[in-house]
Amino acid sequence: MSLFAFLGTLEIGLIYGLVALGVYLTFRILDFPDLTVDGSFPMGGAVAATAIVAGINPWLATILATLAGSCCGLITAFLAVRCGILHLLASILTMIAAFSINIRIMGRPNMALLGEPTIFTPFESLGFNQLHVHLGIVFLLVLLSAVFIIRLLSSDFGLGLRATGVNDRMVAAQGGNIGFYTYFGLALSNGFVGFAGALFAQSNSFADVTSGVGTIVVGLAAVILGQTLLSSSKIWVSVVAVIVGSILYRLAVAFALSSGMFGMQASDLNLITAVLVAIALVIPKMKAKLRVKSLRF
């Protein structure tokens, strides 16, 4: 793998690290299997691209994209909390609706940003290497997001959020509003995913409605992979772990793409993802078994 490909992989891994953060919030913290991300990721890209092409400042466009992602989350939460639709189904409804909405937003399925200003252009015009600029800014934004999440989950409010996914009856007994936590958690999660979509579109100069396909699988793979390698009850470790997991996932993909290596090719990706997730799921059980054995002897 070349350095260029390695850095490029890091960048995509970091961007999808935001997706993994979102998935971590819903699947792990709220215990709410949320597939909305397949819709909110391309929506982030669609909103950012449309806004930028319309002449809106790229940073403002990115914020709009984040809010659009949050709205997707709120809709899923509304369907689940208020209408009582099973959470998985509620999120699938939002996901498929988002596909149509994304085409409406852009007016077509693919919108190009080549040559348009992005959040990266001011720094590129200073003469820095394009890839370094992208990687640097994405790294900073992901770092800020991670710090924000860690701080939030360490607050009084965050504690309520964390308990909601484990024991909602107890949270209610302690005066926590489960419905509100669900709304908030889903909006936050999908906000991050929309943010990631906006960064992806600006970094790669296009937004495409099909870019959402499989986002949830990639996010989940990152969460499981990261948390298996770095398992801890400490929040900051978990947050770092899911981002690391996302980077590792992308490195594994890059592995498969490195032409000729182990005879793998891109069409083996789905298999690799499945194997990675399966290994990550099996390792904790193996560890537990080993522990039992070492106790016995």
Partner 1 sequence: MKGLKGITLFCVVMLLLMSAANTFAQTYKVAVSQIVEHPALDATRQGLLDGLKAKGFEDGKNLEFTYQTAQGNPAIAVQIAKQFVGEKPDVLVGIATPTAQALAASTRTIPVIFTAVTDPLSAKLVKNLTHPEGNVTGLSDLSPVAQHFDLMQELVPDLKVIGVVYNPGEANAVSQIELLKKSAKAKNIQIVEATALKSSDVQGAARIIASKVQVMYALVDNTIATAIDALVGVANQAKIPVVGGSTSFVASGAVAALGFDYYQVGVQTADYVEAVLQGKKISEIPVSFAKGSDLFLNLKAAEALGISLPDAMVKRATNLKK
Partner 2 sequence: MIHLENIRITFNAGTILENKALRNVSLTVSEGQFLTIIGSNGAGKSTLLSAVSGETPISEGSVEIDGVDVSNWPVHKRARFAARVFQNPLAGTCATLSIEENMALACKRGKSRGWHLALSSKRRNFFQDRIAILGLGLEDRLGDSIGLLSGGQRQAVSLVMATLADSHILLLDEHTAALDPRMAAFILELTNTVVKEFSLTVMMVTHSMKDALASGDRTIMLHQGKIIFDVAGEERDCLDVPHLLEMFSRVRDEELADDSLLLG
Q: Which of residues 1-40 bind partner 1 (CB under 8 A)?
A: 1-9, 12, 16
If 0-12 CB within 10 Å is exposed, 13-18 middle and 19+ buried, where does residue 290 land? exposed
Q: How many CA atoms lie within 13 A of 213 on its CB side?
A: 5
Which parts of 217-236 interact with partner 2 (CB under 8 A)? 233
DSSP type of residue 206: E
178 binds partner 2 (CB under 8 A): yes
Q: What is the distance between the alpha carbons of residues 194 and 189, in angstroms, rounded to a whole number? A: 9
Binding mask 234-273 for partner 1 (x = CB under 8 A): ----------x---x-xx-xxx-xxx-x---xxx-xx---
Tokens of 122: 């001011």
Q: Does 189 participate in binding partner 1 (rule CB under 8 A)?
A: no
* Min separation Cβ 133 and partner 2, Å: 33
Distance CA 205, CA 158 (A): 36
Residue (of 124, 269, 256, 279) closest to 202 by Cα position: 124
- 217's contact among partner 2, partner 1, none, with CB below 5 to 8 A by partner kind, is none
Contact pattern from residue 147 through residue 166 relative to partner 1, giving x for each residue in contact according to CB under 8 A and a dash for the rest? --------------------
Q: How far apart are CA 28 and CA 138, in angstroms?
A: 24
Contact with partner 2 (CB under 8 A) among 5, 172, 229, 278: 172
Q: Which of 14, 90, 98, 113 binds partner 1 (CB under 8 A)?
A: 113
3-state secondary structure of 52: helix
Task: List interacting residues with partner 2 (CB under 8 A).
Answer: 152, 154-160, 162-163, 166-167, 169-178, 233
